[in-house]
Amino acid sequence: MSNYSPEYLKVLNDYPENFARFITRVPGVATTTDRAAVIAALTPTHEAVLEEGGIATKMLRRAQQVHGNKVALVGDIGCSYPVEGVDGLFCGGKADCCLGIYVADCAAVWIYDKESQSRALVHSGKAGTLQNIVGETLKAMNKILGVHAGNCIAVISPCIRPPHYEVDIVTMIKQQLEEAGIDPQNITDSGLDTAADLETFYSYRVEKGNTGRMLALFGRNPAAAE
């Protein structure tokens, strides 16, 4: 299986309790403008990555992703998935669930609290970024789980960037993470442009909607010592 644990996720995966992945373009899977159909075609590969990491597919938690700034706390049990009306998910450090966000030009943002091991995964495209979804996520994590942004690290996935896109969402996301209290030194940008490398990534804009979806994953590594 391809390596879906790239160098930019090393800052997360260096913590043995973390399972962070970014599943990029899957060779041999035909793209289509039908989002549901293409996700169904990609699901066997996505589930295989989870299983390879020792995570049961039933533990995957997803968001509806409506390009808003609402986030939800999820865990080992609870509501049906995907969670309606939200674009970000977070969980406590001991939760065995795995957060999942689909992207095809938008940014996925991993947030990890080194103290409590709480995790978040956020879908931050143009609309969500303009609504400061990463800031809203950190506020919710603080209110519900007591997470302090100063203890957190964040990673920004490959996403569309200038000159292929008129909005520099990465610069905005970094600024929002810093304003929320994350140290600039604890923010890692993949630096990769989805629109510039269609061999590796899907790009909704370049492929004019006839595209697949990458899947960002963030969960607790079952192999980690208690």
Q: Please choose, from the candidates 98, 91, 108, 87, the residue with its C-alpha nearest in 3D space to the C-alpha of residue 157.
A: 108
Residue whose pair of structure tokens reads 């969500």 in the numeric block? 128
Q: What is residue 187's predicted lDDT score, i.e. its pLDDT?
A: 98
> Domain count of the chain?
1
Residue 24: count of CB within 10 angstroms of its CB: 22
Mean of the pLDDT values across residues 200-211? 97
- Residue 120 domain-assigned (yes or no): yes
- Residue 55 domain-assigned (yes or no): yes
Q: What is residue 88's predicted lDDT score, i.e. its pLDDT?
A: 98
Q: What is the pLDDT of residues 119-149, one digit of tens each?
A: 999 999 999 999 999 999 999 999 999 999 9
Q: What is residue 126's predicted lDDT score, i.e. its pLDDT?
A: 97
Could you give the 3-state DSSP secondary structure of residue 3? coil
- Residue 170 domain-assigned (yes or no): yes
Q: What is residue 1's predicted lDDT score, i.e. its pLDDT?
A: 47
Q: What is the pLDDT of residues 67-84, one digit of tens each?
A: 999 999 999 876 678 999
Q: What is residue 77's predicted lDDT score, i.e. its pLDDT?
A: 76
pLDDT band at 171 (very low <50, low <70, confident <90, very high): very high
Average pLDDT of every residue of the chain:
95
Mean of the pLDDT values across residues 99-117? 98
- Residue 163 domain-assigned (yes or no): yes
Whether pLDDT at 161 is above 80: yes
Q: What is residue 183's predicted lDDT score, i.e. its pLDDT?
A: 98
- Residue 1 domain-assigned (yes or no): no
Q: What is residue 223's predicted lDDT score, i.e. its pLDDT?
A: 86
Measure Cα distances from 17 to 96, 118, 120, 150 in Å. 11, 11, 14, 20
Per the structure, the complete domain to which residue 168 belongs is given by: 7-220
- Residue 2 domain-assigned (yes or no): no
What pTM was computed for the model? 0.97
Residue 20 and residue 180: Cα distance in Å, rounded? 22
Whether pLDDT at 114 is above 60: yes
Q: What is residue 225's predicted lDDT score, i.e. its pLDDT?
A: 53
- Residue 225 domain-assigned (yes or no): no
Here the CATH number for the domain that contains residue 52 is: 3.60.140.10
Q: What is residue 78's predicted lDDT score, i.e. its pLDDT?
A: 64
Q: What is residue 226's predicted lDDT score, i.e. its pLDDT?
A: 52
